[in-house]
Each structure stands twice: as structure tokens, then as C-alpha cells.
Amino acid sequence: MMTIKTSNLGFPRLGRKREWKKAIEGYWSKKLDLDTLHQQLTDLHKENLLLQKNYNLSSIPVGDFSLYDHILDTSLLFNIIPERFQGRDIDDDLLFDIARGNKEHVASALIKWFNTNYHYIVPEWDHAEPKLNHNVLLERFNYAKSLNVNAHPVIVGPITFVKLSKGGDQSFEEKVNTLLPLYKEVLQSLKEAGAEYIQIDEPALVTDDSADYEAITQAAYEYFAEAGLENHIVIQTYFERVNLQFLNSLPVKGLGLDFVHDHNFNLEQIKAGDFDKNKTLYAGIIDGRNVWAADIEAKKELIDTLQNYTNDLVIQPSASLLHVPVSLDDETLEESIAEGLSFATEKLDELDALRRLFNDNDAEKYNQLKARYERFQNQSFKNLEYDFDSVRTSRQSAFKTRKQAQDKRLNLPDLPTTTIGSFPQSQEVRKYRADWKNDRISDENYQSFLNNEIARWIKIQEDIGLDVLVHGEFERNDMVEFFGEKLQGFLVTKFGWVQSYGSRAVKPPIIYGDVKWAEPLTVKETLYAQSLTDKPVKGMLTGPVTILNWSFERVDLPREEVQDQIALAINEEVLALENEGIQIIQVDEPALREGLPLRSEYHEDYLNKSVHSFKLATSSVADETQIHTHMCYSQFGQIIHAIYDLDADVISIETSRSHGDLIKDFEDITYDLGIGLGVYDIHSPRIPTESEVTEAIHRALQEIDRSLFWVNPDCGLKTRKEDEVVEALSVLVNAVDKLRKSTNTATV
């Protein structure tokens, strides 16, 4: 009988209580020196490795642990350094400057990792001189060996790395060929150090344009085979289906396939005989992207099937566990719900249960997990009634008519200025919230503190000279988690953190039942802010598509049903704000692009349903009420028509890190709705200059009607320090004032 092996693709870097984040931010704030930072991260890496070893994995990944981002690690390994940062030593401070920017230079672009909620640092090839720098991957592999951990190195492959890059005069093939000798040297060093196999991640091979890369992919892996590496390479894919006939032709030890998010295509290809039985099949059968416990009986049946088509089977998660929290151990959840959950360590336990069942005929753990799954499925958290037909899904009037009514009501100046919504979540803000949640201060004391912060920041905004203000969102821990705490059908964890980008961690709520709005969510703070000023204060909400995409979603209902439930709840809040006289309401959808399926055949359906949900949430207001929305770092060309179809009165979009390239997306469409393009990067502590802001505005006005244009930062300001925010916003307002004066002078 075949022995079933188990493996993992990657483990969360954050630590159970965000130890990774705290150490890195401690170094940035100069509370830790570099040696202490390295020691703390080494301790956490060791903890992660030994934890995985406890679940009897046949092999444990190394190379997944990073100081910031695994793509940025690969850039530094191969000396793909942005031109503005070249000439410096390759060290941790350079890594952080590329990721975050510094006083002299802007940070590299930040883009979502395929269709996940993780964001990577984009490699830049302009005038780069590829070479092999310090081999950190070999160092980490040897460290795992010193702990008696049977490890396999993980590195992003040359096809995916180049696909995710930008810049440079070389063709795609030329870039890959430049890197191949460097990859070969790294792979050979790992082979010589004793690596049984090396996991080369090539998720680019699940995308629509993967066929365009087949020739260079074939050439690359034949090059590795000629160097004697054929029996040490596993090509790992995830997030979608592959062309298995092509991958099967490559000279490698094995293939890693996703059997969770592949729409069943990978399994059908295997059944059709497209997999070489003599290759090792690394089968991603446990969902690496969601927190629901596996249907362990169904996974057993899948293993039974897969054993018929390979002589060597390794079972593993469908993707790196980077995308889920570390452990349920520290949670205090209602048992009836907790039984249906599985975080990173619990997913390893599921793999171990299946391994024990097949290899040792030990069904104890398997039966426990099977019983838990069945108990959870029998819980009743649903079957509520909804009246979707009574809610409008289109605005009462066309935009031109609405704009006239809004202009008359709001009376805003040329090039109106505003922010995206949040202001700094200072240590004091976080402490007050924690004290309130842990009953160390009263509701009255907490509300008094919030009111003081709101009043202070309303005055700061007025002093700076912004035209449309916000209350600052000091009561909110996160733009999605906040709503998860207040809407029926959501569960919020205590330590369910996942990495979004760099040290930024979010705690996605879990949608376990039908969603309902029960009471006002944001009205109190918004109304208080509005009472302090004659300028309009925006109501700030998160949209249904983003709430769904940034939550751990239900898998027992179609996505669109859950999304529309959320849309109805947001519609109730929109109307509650409007009924209290709030004139501008922003319903943010930063994750609309992030949820776009990787395969284009699913795009139209996804976008149509997303637009429907947004309009369900926002269309019931009067013409005079102005609806804003916001979207974060993404490539918008594919969805620009859907953005237009949202019919928001004003949309704000990031453009700072893309250095104006995003504006090109608007060249192919007549965008005659209000729009604000972010004119400086809030994810960097660097303060923009007036000339940079002015240049960004001028570039935008080449494609966008001035009467429709707003000026704002590219995202919320919660992660920045107060002095940075005040200085940067002052630069923004001063630049706009000069543009207004120069325009007025020119027309006199």
C-alpha cells in the first residue's frame, strides 16, 4: 500500500500574537537594535518550524519566513534593486527603504498577490544588474537542519518573478534567461546542502496568459535539468487550475496542484490521464485560504481517488497558510461555531489525521474531526428572510442631474480637497480601545475620549484648510472588522490576524450565518463630528464587496447571496446617515479588484454581481446626497468599465506608487463621474513635496475634466504618525491653493 506523506507550502510569519510585526516595528521606531530584531525573528522562525514538526509533516518549508515580503527577498537575492536605491549595501535597511520609502525616494509599488488579500513589493528592472547576493535561503535551510527539521526550501520561480516585475528594456524571455544561471547556483547550493527537493512556486502558470510563457518555461526547467537538478525540483501552483498536459512534460520531480480552488479542473485532468504516475503529486486538498474545517470524509475520498493516478502522493494545503491565522488555541469562541473552524495549526492537524488514517489505520483523530464537522453542519445560523425587491439598484437620476443638485447643496471650491477617512490610530487611541474592551474604563469615559479625538481632528482639518472633513474613525480597529463586530451573522476573533502587507496585519471577521443590520453603526460619531463644523463631514462605510472579500466567507451559500445580504445591511446604514442630514457618504470598495477571479471566463459574472451589490447598498439615497467610494492599490485596466458602472458620484483611487501609470487606464474610457487620484503615498513616512503633488494633479488633469477632479491622499491615514499627516496634508492643501490662485489669475 502507498505511504501517504504530508507537507506544507508556507506558514504565517506573524506569530500567534503578532510577535513578528511588533519586532519589526520596534526596529523601525528605534526601540530595538538590529541584533535584537534578528534574535527575536530567529526565535519566532524556530517556533514556527518546531510547531510544524509537531504535526509530523514529512517536509517543512523554509524560505516562507521573511523580514517583509518574499518577493522583495527574491529581488534582493538576485540584485533586482530599484534604480533610485542602487549603489547601497544589500542589507535590512535597504530592504525596508525599498518597501517603505525614505526621505529621498518613494517606495516601490505595492500590488496584490494574485487574487488574495496579501500585497507584494513589485520588482523593478530599470538599470538593474542581476547577480547573486547573500544566499539567505541556504542560510535558513541550514538553520532548519540544525534544529533536526526535515525541511524543503521554497523560492518563487523565474516565470512568476518576472511576470510580477516591471521596468527594464529586456523582453520577458531575456529577463528570465538572465536569471536562470543565478537560480541554478542557488538550487545547486541547496541540493549540495542536502535538500531532498526545492519547492519552486509558479502561480503564474494558473493565469489566463500562462500559455504565453510555455516556451520559456520549458526552456527554463530543461536548463535546470541539464544542471542535474531534475530530481530535486517541484513546481508548485495554487489558486486555480493548470494546463496539466504541459506541466507534466517538464523535467521535474513533482507537481503541486490546487484541488480546492481549481473548479474541479485539475482532478478531471488527472482522471483523463494527463499526469505521469512516476512523478510525485503534491495535492493541495486542505483549503489554505479560508478558516473553515475540512469535510474530512470528502478529503479521504479525494485521496482514495488520487492514489489511483500516482505512485507517490503528498497531501498538503492548497496554498501557503500565510493567508489564515495561526491557531485557535487562544480564542474563546462559542463551541458550536468553533467546531467548524480551522486555522493554520488546525489545518496541519487535519493533514496529520488523514496521514494516520491511511498509513497507520489509526482513525481516532479522523473520527473526532469528522464528528466535529458534522455537528457544525447541523447548526442553524441561517434561513432569514430578505426583501431585496424593495430596495433600488439604480440612482433616481443620471449623474449630470445629481451633480447639479450636489453642487448647489455643497458649494465646494475648485479642486476640492479631502482625505480617504481614517486618521492616526495612535498608541493612546489603541490603549483606550483596549481598556474599554477589557472593561478597564467605562462606556462614558471611552466615549468622552472618542469625542475629544474627533473634535481635535476636526479642528486640525479646518486649520489645514481641507474642504470635506471626516471624523477620523478612532472607534474602529479595522474597516471590515468594525462592521463584523456590529452586524448579525459575523464572528470576530481575538487573535485571528493575517498579514496584508509588510507589518500591516488585519483580523478578518468570519461570516458564519445570515447577515442583518440591527442598529446604527456609525451615525453617532459622524453626527458629532458634523456638529463641530460648517464644512461637510463624510459618513464613512465599507462596501459589501470589500466586507465579503476581506472576511472569511461562508462556503455553504453562493458568494453573491452573502454579498447581497451585506449590501442590504449597508443600505440601511446609508439611509440612517442620510436621514440625519449627512450630505456625503463614502462606501469604500478597495477590494473589488482583489476579488477578481484569476481566469477571465469568470470576470463578467463576478463584476456584474459586484456592481449589483454596490448599487443595492447605495442607490436609495436622494440626488442631493453625494456617494463616494475608494479603491486601493491594484491594476484597474481590467475593471475600469465596472468602476464606471458603480455610478458613484466620486471615486478616489491610488496612483502615487504607480507613479501616474494608473491614469493610462482612463485613456480608453470617457470617465464623466467625479474622481480623486491619490497624489501622495500614505504607506511611506516620506512627506511629499509641493512640486510632486502639483505634478500629480497636472498629470491627472490631462485625462480628467477639472470640474470632476478631487485631490486626496491615496488611502486612509491610520498607520501614519500625527506630525506626518499634518505636514503631508498641509503640503497637499498648499499645492491646491496655488493651483487655484494661478487659475484665477490666468482668467482675470
Where is the binding site, in residues? 18-21, 112, 117, 420-422, 473, 550, 588, 594, 630, 632, 641, 645, 654, 715
The residues near 399 (Cβ < 8 Å, ≥ 6 apart) are 647, 649, 672, 673
Question: Cell triple for residue 605?
Answer: 459574472
Q: Which of 329, 335, 320 is nearest to 17 (CA)?
A: 329
In the three-class reduction of DSSP (H, G, I as helix; E, B as strand; rest coil), residue 499 is classed as strand
| Number of other residues whose CB lies within 10 A of the CB of residue 103 | 9
Residue 111 · residue 120 · CB < 8 Å = yes
Q: Which of 472, 493, 489, 469 is nearest to 481 (CA)?
A: 493
In the three-class reduction of DSSP (H, G, I as helix; E, B as strand; rest coil), residue 84 is classed as helix
Question: Cell triple for residue 586?
Answer: 463614502
C-alpha–C-alpha distance, residues 641 and 32, integer Å: 48
Q: Which of 453, 420, 423, 417 is nearest to 721 (CA)?
A: 423
* Binding-site sequence positions for 5-methyltetrahydropteroyltri-L-glutamate: 18-21, 112, 117, 550, 594
C-alpha–C-alpha distance, residues 310 and 280, integer Å: 7
119 catalytic per annotation: no
Residue 96 · residue 577 · CB < 8 Å = no
* Binding-site sequence positions for L-methionine: 420-422, 473, 588
The DSSP-derived string for 469-490 is B--B-TT-S-TTHHHHHHSEEE
Q: Which residue has the cell 482625505?
A: 419
* Binding-site sequence positions for L-homocysteine: 420-422, 473, 588
The residues near 639 (Cβ < 8 Å, ≥ 6 apart) are 592, 593, 596, 607
Q: Which of 86, 488, 113, 163 is nearest to 320 (CA)?
A: 113
**What distance lies between CA 224 and its chain's CA centroid?**
33
Catalytic: which of 70, 232, 683, 698?
683
C-alpha–C-alpha distance, residues 550 and 553, integer Å: 8
In the three-class reduction of DSSP (H, G, I as helix; E, B as strand; rest coil), residue 343 is classed as coil
DSSP 389: G
Q: Which of 152, 230, 137 is nearest to 186 (CA)?
A: 137
Q: What is the CA radius of gyration of the chain?
A: 26
Question: Cell triple for residue 160?
Answer: 512568476
Helices (H), 54-157: 70-77, 92-100, 136-146
Q: Annotated catalytic sites, by residue?
A: 683
